[in-house]
Amino acid sequence: MKQLSVNSGQWSVVASSLPGPDDITRVELSNGITVLARSNFNSPSVSVSGYLHVGGLFDPDEKLGLADYVSAALMRGTEKRDFQEIYQAMESVGAALSFNGATHTTGFGGKSLAEDLSLLMELISEGLRQPVFPDQQIERLRAQLLTGLTLRAQDTRDMAGMAFDQIVYKDHPYSRPEDGYPETVQAITRQDLVDFHKKHYGPRGLVIAVVGGVSPEDAVDKVRAALGDWQNPDQPHPPQIPSVTPLEELVTHRVEIAGKSQADIVIGASGLARKSEDFLPASLGNSVFGQFGMMGRIGEAVREKAGLAYYAYSSMSAGMGPGPWAVNAGINPDNIDKATELIRAEIKRFVNEPVEDDELADSKANFIGRLPLALESNGGVAGAMINLERYDLGMDYYLRYAERIEAVTKEDVLAAASKYLHPDKLAVAIAGS
């Protein structure tokens, strides 16, 4: 369905409700923590989101998955509360809290009534600063992690994605799965968890956003009370990310998984980092290519017209480093060659011909129109504020978002597409029987 453009008058009304420099409070605590706060007194609740620079990049090869294991164990028991007491404390007030590991960072997110923000901050502080890694809970968690890895080994989509990363990011940290392998998770001891936490967890570079029915001053005070005295003088700096060596030819790898009626394929290359000036042109181009409507050109060509795929779309992941730009498809194993050639043909068209005017206009309207929806909730705003800080976008980024989107031209999209995707220099990863 064609999207209608948002005119300047409509956008000015929308922009007045978006987070910006006039209503985001940013405070740096003396120990290196950055606090972002925004009030929303129309809501009785608060959402908290944050991250610290601890991730899978710090894992040794022989114990890959260590950072992920630690993050999953933070709420299994602390110096003040055991596993049951942590969850009883949350359930008693209807709060929620979770931690998650990633390649570059460990993230956390929670929500509660505004009146219970102090309790939520206490639980965040205990998880980050005082986990005790109880033996019984650690072994239960290990069993869950190993079960997940067993399931991953039988999942054609997951295995195609892993094979793709190993081609595109050969000899690069991004080639390693952040949740590790069965043998590396088995090798991790409780002492490894304790040592990793003691060394790597600390306040420097930690960012936390608080949004909801609380004043910015009160939010900052509660963060300071919970985390302001945290110190770790030995906390290491994040490692430098090496550059990615571009592919020089078409490289294909197939993972055999017996007994599967569906094969999954991932075709693409290394893309761009979030801070790249190509981000918006590439994002809009990716929408045309394999996202908008019924999964864009890829969905129309491979699934709708040719009938070769159960699903087909493109994805572009841009983070701290150059994420993948790829086409993903689930197909009948008999159609692998046909689908691969058709996808490559669509890539060739995408990098050699400008997108159509109406294709770009539709995607622009979609990007502009969905932003207010993404920022309707406290959690959405907290996550957006975190991104402003993580990628140094500037506090006025969302206020100028429509202007930035509208400024992207067909030529910009074509330049971005041809810069990162080359039809004869692609990774083709296939998993199935």
What confidence tens digit (pLDDT) does each residue in 142-187 have? Answer: 999 999 999 999 999 999 999 999 999 999 999 999 999 999 999 9
**Are 222 and 35 within 8 A, CB to CB?**
no
Is beta strand 207-212 parallel, antiparallel or unpaired with respect to 96-101?
unpaired
Decide if pLDDT at 408 tops 60: yes
Confidence of residue 92 (pLDDT cuts 50, 70, 90): very high
Domains of the chain: 21-227 (3.30.830.10), 251-432 (3.30.830.10)
Antiparallel, parallel or unpaired: β 427-432 and 34-39: unpaired
In this model, does residue 320 exceed pLDDT 80? yes
Closest CA to 379 of 47, 82, 140, 14: 47
Mean pLDDT of the chain: 95
Please say if the pLDDT value at position 94 is more than 60.
Answer: yes
Task: Record the tokens describing residue 306, joined without a space.
Answer: 């040719």
pLDDT at position 353 over 50: yes
Helix (H, G, I), strand (E, B) or coil at 38: strand
Neighbour count for residue 318 (Cβ, 10 Å): 21
Distance between CA atoms of residues 13 and 257, nearest Å: 53
What tokens appear for 35 in the block?
């606090």
Instruction: Read off the pLDDT band of 258 (50, 70, 90).
Output: very high
Whether the model pTM is above 0.85: yes
Closest to 424 in 3D by CA, of 289, 169, 252: 252
For tokens 């394929």, name the residue.
Answer: 265
pLDDT digits (tens, 9 = 90+) for 290-301: 999 889 999 999
Residue 3 has pLDDT above 50, yes or no: no
Please state whether beta strands 263-270 and 324-331 pair in parallel, antiparallel, or not at all (unpaired).
antiparallel
